[in-house]
Amino acid sequence: MAKILSTTPRADGFRMPAEWEPHSGCWMLWPERSDNWRRGAKPAQHAFAAVASAITEGEPVTVCVSPGQYVIAREMLDPAVRVVEMTSNDSWIRDCGPTFVVSDEGVVRGIDWKFNAWGGLGDGLYFPWDQDDLVGEKVLEYERDDRYAPDFILEGGSIDVDGEGTVLATEECLLNPNRNPNLDRAGIEQMLRDYLNVDSVLWLPKGVHLDETDGHIDNFCRFVAPGEVVLTWTDDTADPQYAISADAFERLASMRDAKGRSLKVHKLHQPRPVLITAEEAADVDHVPGTLPRQAGDRLAASYVNFYIANERIVMPGYDDPRDLPAQQMLADLFPGRRVTVVPGREILLGGGNIHCITQQEPLGKIKRARRAA
């Protein structure tokens, strides 16, 4: 039986691996709520299905679906995808799902963080979030993985690790009083050290302009290798993103990671501003308690929100002239992986992108052996 552990990954010799380390698979949730996804979530479902198909080329994918959508999802999803029943409030498993950690012996465990819909009753994005908060536990039960369950609110999209002792995060999100108001910077750093088993926390002040997650790092700046990051960028000094990215670039240039390396920063130019059309806004149900979608609102479009699968990168495209250079840059940065571009607009209309709707599970030695048997 899987256990709930009262120790910490650091004390037990477990660490969060980098996303480019081998996976046993990828987890996703199925979108259906009509107050976040237009037209009863049908266009989003097609977009999620395309992401799942692209990832299955590199690793097994499991999509968790509510009872009412099971048959529909099973029909729409690639036959290679495993579909299991699971209730949730929405479909952002990066944030409400578990974070997996591994030991040097190849044992996999999970961290079941607390989740409050990106800010709780004050400025969270919807209410309730009780079923989302159970997703981490449910996935770990399926996997029979022992779990840590700290009393700490954290979304997976708010951290990015190199697997060698360094984590990137934004102050805008992790130090926001709407997450863990009882902890100061030192207290939050200690939680990251203890649970991710890192030695250095590299802080950037803000994330992407108008990102409704309070500036998640996974949409803004991510490791692509030890000592190398990609940073969303614009050359347009009049764009509000310019000052945020330029400031981050300067800070990153003077940082050292846990191994003492300085960072190589790759500027990944953002697409043109993506605005919600009147038709798109009209097709989302308006429900009190859920962040409304309004015509003309700018979305936090970024190419940094890609998923690193085994032998594949799956990145969002925006039908934009910058799509191709972004794909080329990621292909150069990940030479062993083919880069697949999947249309990202429908997912972006819900408030995030491909990385936000996926959660990798690392390949531990025990699962490796189980699979070979």
Q: Strand, helix or coil at 4? A: strand
| Opening angle at CA 160, ends 61 and 46, nearest 5 | 35
Residue 352 lies near ligand KQY (rule: CB under 6 A)? yes
Q: Which of 14, 115 has the CB closer to ligand KQY?
A: 115
Residue 316 lies near ligand KQY (rule: CB under 6 A)? no
Least separation in angstroms between residue 8's CB and ligand KQY is: 25
List the one residue out of 349, 347, 329, 348 whose CA is nearest residue 339.
Answer: 329
Calculate the CA dihedral of residues 206, 340, 299, 215 and round it to 10 degrees.
Answer: -20
H or E, element range at 342: strand 338-343
Least separation in angstroms between residue 168's CB and ligand KQY is: 15
**9-43 per-residue burial string, b: 16 or more CB within 10 A, e: under 16:** bbeeebbbbbbbeebbbbbbbbbbbbbbbbeebbb
Least separation in angstroms between residue 95's CB and ligand KQY is: 5
Window of 5-13, 49-57, 88-96, 175-183 that interacts with ligand KQY by CB under 6 A: 88-96
CA pair distance 46, 42, nearest whole angstrom: 7
Residue 176 lies near ligand KQY (rule: CB under 6 A)? no
Least separation in angstroms between residue 11's CB and ligand KQY is: 29
**Identity of the residue numbered 340:** T
Residue 135 lies near ligand KQY (rule: CB under 6 A)? no
Q: Residues touching ligand KQY: how many (CB under 6 A)?
A: 14
Q: Which residue of 45, 200, 213, 302 would you call a contact of ligand KQY, by CB under 6 A?
A: 213
Least separation in angstroms between residue 300's CB and ligand KQY is: 8
CA pair distance 179, 157, nearest whole angstrom: 14
Residue 216 lies near ligand KQY (rule: CB under 6 A)? yes
Q: Which residue of 95, 164, 346, 361 would you call a contact of ligand KQY, by CB under 6 A?
A: 95
Quick one: tokens of 237?
């000094």
Contact (CB, 8 A) for 305 and 316: yes
Q: Which of 216, 367 has the CB closer to ligand KQY?
A: 216
Least separation in angstroms between residue 101's CB and ligand KQY is: 20
The answer to whether residue 221 is catalytic is no
For strands 61-65 and 23-29, give the pairing.
Answer: parallel
Residue 293 lies near ligand KQY (rule: CB under 6 A)? no
Q: Which residue of 33, 94, 138, 179 would you call a contact of ligand KQY, by CB under 6 A?
A: 94
Q: State CA 348 to chain mean position distance.
A: 13
Residue 92 lies near ligand KQY (rule: CB under 6 A)? yes
Active site residues: 356
Q: Which residues bind ligand KQY (CB under 6 A)?
A: 36, 92, 94-95, 125, 157, 212-213, 216, 291, 350-352, 356
